Structure 1
Amino acid sequence: MYLDFEKKCEKLTNRANKILVNKHSIQEWEFNYLSENLLSDLWQAWCLFCKKILILSCQGTKDRNNLQIPKLSSPDLSTLRLSYEVSANKSHRNPTANGHLSYKSAYDITWGDTSKLIDAINFLSPHNHNTLITAFGSTAIINDIQLTRNFSAHKNKDTLTNCRGFLLSYNLTNVKSPTDIIWSTHNDTGEFAILCWIFYCQLIADNATS
């Protein structure tokens, strides 16, 4: 699972570098489109990884040190059932015995949202609970990715305002589009935001599976 995510991160990094190299040979709209599409793909890959690692941890698996993570004792550890229970818990509803039979993935929590994921980890409480909490709670930078992606998906004053809280961490003077944030540089690392985000996603994934 980690190796698959690592490969995705490598491909995303290569795409970012290619977009940057071609910036002055393509039109502005195309540069914006490619940049926002890259961000969307990063967010989708991250959300999928977060869901997979929690579900597999509950079902029983091995970490990258080959240590066994025992499965939970629940009689139904299917992805559908676990996803349903997490969704029900988020909505403060008691899960029913057959509620998962009509459940759809569209009702899933936003798995990549750190606060929601940590709530789900605490609720399901897999045997590697502490490792997962430590890894996913190690940095707030995932929130930067999520808010920028929301700004990209829903371009309006509110989603831009939601980004204001973290913009001081980046070398930015004026934000007109998500692309401005994506290609700003992070004050601590000096890296372009998108490359910084990919790095931290991979680092968290590394720590969560070790």
Structure 2
Amino acid sequence: MMRPYKIFYKKSCIFFERAKQTIEYKEKIGNTWEYKYITYSLISDIWKIWCLFCREVIILSCSGTKTRNGININARRADNTIQRISYEANQARHGRIIRPNKKDIYIRQEPTWGDQYLLMQVIPALSPNNTNSLITGFGLDISAPKHIQIIRNYLAHSNVESANEVKNIAQHYNIMQGSDQMDALSWVEPSTASYAILYWLRDLESIASIVTN
């Protein structure tokens, strides 16, 4: 588990600096198309690396690994190829029977591994030997994964429904004066007075620390 944690933590630190630079950049150029493009790129990169981290943690948990604390996690007594794990996860997500010898064929068939709700469904079904640790970490009452996912989906697939989802979660934050409600980088987390994007990254790091220990 050390490898995925180190990669994610390193990327998260880079994203933290990128976020601060992007916020400062907006103060110079305003809410221009350049700023919007940089924002989309940042949010998309954060979501992508989070999904990759979750994917690797689930695969390693099923196929056998060692935690950062040096505890051995034995492999499941099952087919632990990614194709089989993906199939089982998709069946669990839809509440379908998991049948023997079935597999997903293509990467595009894999579930959205960073989806917090999905993980809570599929981890018990996959039943790796560190299920309790995974449920504890991924099941934390932390909004970061879901809020990042909603914003990323809006930026990638802008429509009325995705816009309404962003407006709904925006109510949980303070909006910088003069900023657009849809500009998530202008949101401030009320309890810490920190920019929400920076707060989210630290929350993702907290989850990553728990599930790899």
TM-score w.r.t. the length of structure 1 is 0.90
Confirm whether residue 203 of structure 1 aligns to residue 199 of structure 2. Answer: no
Letter in 1 for 2:63: Q
SS of residue paired to 1:44:
helix
Report the alpha carbon displacement of residue 93 of structure 1 after superposing the two structures with TM: 3.6
1:96-175 maps to which residues of 2 (within 5 A)?
96-100=99-103, 103-141=105-143, 142-172=145-175
Alpha-carbon offset, residue 127 of structure 1: 1.0
Q: How far apart are 1:207 and its partner, in Å?
A: 1.1
**Does 1:35 find its partner at 2:39?**
yes
Aligned pair count reads 207
Aligned-partner SS, 1:99: coil
Residue matched to 1:11:
14
Q: CA RMSD in A?
A: 2.0
Structure 2 gaps, min length 5? none
Q: What is the alpha-carbon distance in structure 2 between the residues aligned to residue 177 and residue 105 of structure 1?
A: 35
| Percent of aligned pairs with the same amino acid | 34
Give the Cα–Cα distance (whole angstroms) in 1 for the partners of residues 148 and 179 of structure 2: 15
Residue identity in the other structure for 2:141: T
Q: 1:192 aligns with which of 192, 195, 198?
A: 195
Offset, 1:20: 2.4
* Change in CA separation of 1:98 and 1:130 when aligned onto 2, cut-off 3 Å: closer
Question: Which one-letter code corresponds to 2:18 in the other structure?
Answer: R
Match of 1:55 in 2: 59
Structure 1, unpaired ranges of 5+: none
1:80 shift after superposition: 1.6
Q: Residues 179 and 186 of structure 2 are in contact (CA less than 8 Å); yes or no, is this contact kept in structure 1?
A: no
Deviation, structure 1 residue 53:
0.5
Residue correspondence of structure 1 range 73-84 to structure 2 within 5 A: 73-74=77-78, 76-84=79-87
- Distance, in Å, in 1 between the alignment partners of 2:161 and 2:198 is 26
1:149-187: CA deviation from partner (whole Å, max 9, x where unpaired): 111111122111112332222103898564x12221111
Of residues 79-88 and 1-10 in structure 1, the stretch that sits farther from structure 2 once superposed is: 79-88
